[in-house]
Amino acid sequence: MSKVGVFIEIVDQAPGKSMPGLISAASRGGDVVGLLLDGLAEKYKGSLEEYGLTELINLSAPNRVLSKHPEAAGHALAGAVKTFGLTALLGVSSPTGNDLLARAAISLKSPLALDCIDINFKENYVKKSHFSGKTIATLEIKATPFVCGIRPNSFEAVQNQVTCRVTDHSALSVGDDTITIIGVESSGGQKDLTEASVIITGGRPIGSIENFKLLDDCAKTLGAAVGASRAAVDLDYAPHSMQVGLTGKIVSPKLYIGCGLSGSAQHFAGMKGSQVIVAINTDKEAPIFTKSDYGIIGDLFEVVPALTKALKTGPP
Ligand SMILES: Cc1cc2nc3c(=O)[nH]c(=O)nc-3n(C[C@H](O)[C@H](O)[C@H](O)COP(=O)(O)OP(=O)(O)OC[C@H]3O[C@@H](n4cnc5c(N)ncnc54)[C@H](O)[C@@H]3O)c2cc1C
């Protein structure tokens, strides 16, 4: 049976939230083998074998902390693909995932497709959204192994309890380092947008940094991340790390609540993959309503606090 490798990305000291969905996607192609940098496989295997991970490989390299050396990590991932005879290497298309997958693909001289929203191992193709989400491209992959980044939340996690064994593997050749990650600073404790399953976003009418607290309060009751339109970011109401859209983050949550967004093509390019879109807008003719599953015609300064209250106390 074919074996598909999955790069297990650690976020906030645990496997990233998109890992179960990624493992489920990979299991369409055969047995799933997880590749984890710098150990801790024993600690994490319980949460991963629930979704069908049959083997977890602790990747290490002499005298290197792989997670701090992206070039070495790319080589180590590529080496593991060869050593363990993996037919493909998948990861989440996060900033770290895209970086390491691209490096591994170069090292393997393999085809690379990032930000894919579908994958078919039998017919060897992936699907990607192009031109601000207006078209879906189907790309045929003609070589094995290939490397593929999957857009977070593109696949439902399917429970498939198996027993996962842990294997240690030391990469012998990881090349020279020109880059060392000295530290990673989080952007003010905000929840990560790309992996969030619920997002509430504010547009231009939010009016100030302070008013984003309205969305923060609602987000807390929903366990949501808070996003912003480019108009809100350009007016300094929110940092660029919160921007959703063509020139911001690409997100694909289960629920997207847009507050005071007109529904521009550039904003939609970043959140079109959301499963359910709810729009709150004072203008019943706003374009966003034509692209939303649910629309609330109303002032966000009234609707959002009422929503937060209802979520806290339950329906009247
Ligand atoms: C190359 C390029 C890249 C871009 N990239 C991005 C990107 O990544 N992300 C992005 O978001 N945009 C991007 N834009 C900008 C985009 O074209 C729009 O200008 C922007 O998305 C509009 O932001 P908005 O919806 O917040 O504001 P507006 O377009 O001003 O819409 C505000 C909406 O709020 C409604 N409203 C007003 N008051 C209230 C209220 N009190 N309660 C409820 N509703 C209210 C209005 O009816 C209106 O529909 C890009 C543009 C270009 C040219």
The answer to whether residue 299 scores a pLDDT higher than 80 is yes
Tell me if 242 sits within 8 A of 226, measured CB to CB. yes
Rounded to the nearest whole angstrom, what is the distance from the C-alpha of residue 181 to the centroid of ligand 1?
35
pLDDT score recorded for residue 102? 98
State the residue for tokens 């699907």: 127
Instruction: Supply 310's token pair.
Output: 């209802």
Tell me if 23 sits within 8 A of 202, measured CB to CB. no
pLDDT score recorded for residue 304? 98
Lining ligand 1 with CB less than 6 A are 203-205, 229-232, 243-248, 260-262, 264, 266-267, 270, 280-283, 286, 299-301
For the chain, which residues make up each domain, given as ranges?
3-170, 198-313
The ligand 1 atom nearest the CA atom of 246: 8
Tell me if 254 sits within 8 A of 197, measured CB to CB. yes
pLDDT score recorded for residue 188? 65
CATH class of the region 3-170:
alpha beta
pLDDT score recorded for residue 147? 98
The total number of residues shown for the chain amounts to: 316
What CATH number was assigned to the domain covering residues 198-313? 3.40.50.1220
pLDDT score recorded for residue 39? 85
Tell me if 8 sits within 8 A of 164, measured CB to CB. no
Instruction: Supply 282's token pair.
Output: 């004072």
Crossing angle of helices 70-83/95-108, nearest 10°? Answer: 60
pLDDT per position as a tens digit, 16-37: 989 999 999 999 999 999 999 9
Which residue, judged by its Cα, is nearest atom 38 of ligand 1? 205
Angle at 139 between CA 136 and CA 142, to 5 degrees: 170
User: What mean pLDDT is reported for the chain?
Assistant: 94
The ligand 1 atom nearest the CA atom of 265: 17
pLDDT score recorded for residue 176? 81
Cα–Cα dist 59/74, whole Å: 11
Best residue for ligand 1 mutational test, from 131, 200, 204 (most atoms within 8 Å of Cβ): 204
Tell me if 193 sits within 8 A of 244, measured CB to CB. yes
- DSSP-assigned beta bridge partners for residue 115: none
Closest by alpha carbon to 224, among 232, 214, 216? 216
To which H or E segment does residue 48 belong?
Answer: helix 41-49
pLDDT per position as a tens digit, 222-272: 999 999 999 999 999 999 999 999 999 999 999 999 999 999 999 999 999
Which residue type sits at 84?
F
Averaged pLDDT, 218-222: 96
The answer to whether residue 307 scores a pLDDT higher than 90 is yes
Q: Which of 67-76, 175-184, 279-288, 289-298 has the lowest mean pLDDT?
A: 175-184
The answer to whether residue 69 scores a pLDDT higher than 90 is yes
State the residue for tokens 């989400």: 133
Per DSSP, the three-state class of 154 is coil
The answer to whether residue 200 scores a pLDDT higher than 80 is yes
Give Dmax over CA atoms of the chain in angstroms.
64
pLDDT tier, 316 (very low <50, low <70, confident <90, very high otherwise): low
> What DSSP line would sit under 195-257, residue for residue?
T-SEEEEE-GGG-STTTHHHHHHHHHHHT-EEEE-HHHHHTTSS-GGGBBSTTSB----SEEE
Decide whether 3-170 matches 198-313 in CATH topology. Answer: yes
Rounded to the nearest whole angstrom, what is the distance from the C-alpha of residue 265 to the centroid of ligand 1?
9
The ligand 1 atom nearest the CA atom of 263: 25
Cα–Cα dist 53/127, whole Å: 24
Share of the chain above pLDDT 70, in %: 98
State the residue for tokens 């609707």: 303
pLDDT per position as a tens digit, 108-126: 999 999 999 999 999 999 9
Rounded to the nearest whole angstrom, what is the distance from the C-alpha of residue 268 to the centroid of ligand 1?
10
pLDDT per position as a tens digit, 141-165: 999 999 999 998 889 999 999 999 9
pLDDT score recorded for residue 189? 64
Model pTM above 0.75: yes
The ligand 1 atom nearest the CA atom of 283: 47
Best residue for ligand 1 mutational test, from 251, 261, 299, 304 (most atoms within 8 Å of Cβ): 261
Tell me if 35 sits within 8 A of 59, measured CB to CB. yes
CA dist list (Å): 33 to 84, 109, 118: 9, 21, 19
Share of the chain above pLDDT 90, in %: 83
The answer to whether residue 132 scores a pLDDT higher than 80 is no
Which residue, judged by its Cα, is nearest atom 25 of ligand 1? 261
